[in-house]
Amino acid sequence: MSEERAAVLDRVGLDRLFEVLVEDGYRVVGPTVRDEAIVLEELDSAAWLPAGWGVDTAPGRYRLRRREDAAVFGHSAGPQSWKKYLHPARRQLWSTGDDGEFRSVADEPRRYAFFGVRGCDLASIAVLGRVLGDGGHPDGAFARRCRGLFVVAANCTEPGEVCFCASMGTGPEAGPGYDLSLTERIDGAGHRFLVEIGSAEGARILARVGCRDAAEEEISSARAEVAAAAGRMRRTMPDGLPALMRGSYDSPVWAAVASRCLTCANCTMVCPTCFCTTTEDVTDLTGEHAERWQHWASCFELDFSYLHGGSVRTSGASRYRQWMTHKLGTWHDQFGGSGCVGCGRCIAWCPAGIDITEEAAKLAGERP
């Protein structure tokens, strides 16, 4: 946090921040309660934010619960990540008709404001930026969606049961990349949010909201709450993950975890950084119209490694090994950092309750 630029909003001020973003032409995306989960949706009003809701998570378990206060950000990561707005699960690439002409499908630019982005998810947006936005052949659709993005981050003071962002260096305090960051406080002094400005656009928006300067004690206590959250995380990753993954190719751990893994791909579908896609062509019955669609794919699918004659990774053990060693190991070689941000979604949403931190610890325990 930057003490020189810290301010305070009350609960009404938070609603006003939402209103200003809408007035400025942003389409605000934030957490809300739907289908017994806290999900991400385009919101019309701050009234849709999940005030007073928390979650209980564990391996293979996610449950909503009512809180005893009206905290807006008193919950950990839900089943969806912000990736679905920047790298959609399904999109049309082109179509053609009976005239034989190909027509590309350009996404309409949307000016998004992401409201309540956790440190782990902010890091995942940066990871996707390196994967899809950098290099010699960047994804133009991804770049267009990121253009003009406004991010309101939310520092965590209550880590979830499956969170391990502290050991991945991605939280609980939001890192760089936000326009405004919030630390929510509820105590005898009331319900308020310490605000840090991260960009000129953030300063412009906040000036329209109205706020007061933060006192030194408010800044230090908010810092202490966020720091304490890191110490309450029960899960960690071992050090030296790339080397650990390189040296574990023949480990019996892969067969053991495969005996439990359903290869359902839930872990890759909820992961905020998994980026793999495939394409499919569809036609109408007359053959006069055809379309090409891109949609998410998973390395847990049998056909994912298909080459002429068959698939390369036919066993569950080989597919789980591919996912974990790429995410924690060779991702460093390709993209300069880990593909895991410690959000814990893959643990909570695994129907078999497989815990990636436990599997990494088993591999580390084999090291001499």
Read off the amino acid at residue 262: L
pLDDT in tens, 84-93: 999 999 999 9
- Domain of residue 15 covers 3-231
Residues 166 and 248 in one domain: no
Q: How far apart are CA 344 and CA 353, in angstroms?
A: 12
Residues 64 and 190 in one domain: yes
Among 265, 41, 28, which residue's Cα sits nearest to residue 150? 28
pLDDT in tens, 228-261: 999 999 999 999 999 999 999 999 999 999 999 9
pLDDT of 236:
96
**SS3 of 212, please?**
strand
Two tokens at 38?
């806290």
pLDDT of 318:
96
Residues 252 and 224 in one domain: no
Last residue of a domain, one of 175, 208, 231: 231
Residues 200 and 305 in one domain: no
Residues 14 and 128 in one domain: yes
| % pLDDT > 70, the chain | 98
Last residue of a domain, one of 187, 205, 231: 231
pLDDT in tens, 257-292: 999 999 999 999 999 999 999 999 998 888 788 999
pLDDT of 1:
43
Last residue of a domain, one of 231, 250, 268: 231
Q: How far apart are CA 366 and CA 368, in angstroms?
A: 6
**Helix, strand, coil shares of the chain as percentages rounded to 5?**
35, 25, 40
With a cut of 60, say whether residue 368 has pLDDT above it.
Answer: no
The pTM (predicted TM-score) of the whole model is 0.93
Q: What is the mean pLDDT of residues 122-135?
A: 94
With a cut of 50, say whether residue 3 has pLDDT above it.
Answer: no
User: Whats the size of the chain, residue-wise?
Assistant: 368
Contact 50, 33 (CB under 8 A): yes
Judge whether 325 lies within some domain.
Answer: yes
Q: What is the mean pLDDT of residues 84-112?
A: 85
Read off the amino acid at residue 117: V
Residues 208 and 301 in one domain: no
With a cut of 80, say whether residue 162 has pLDDT above it.
Answer: yes
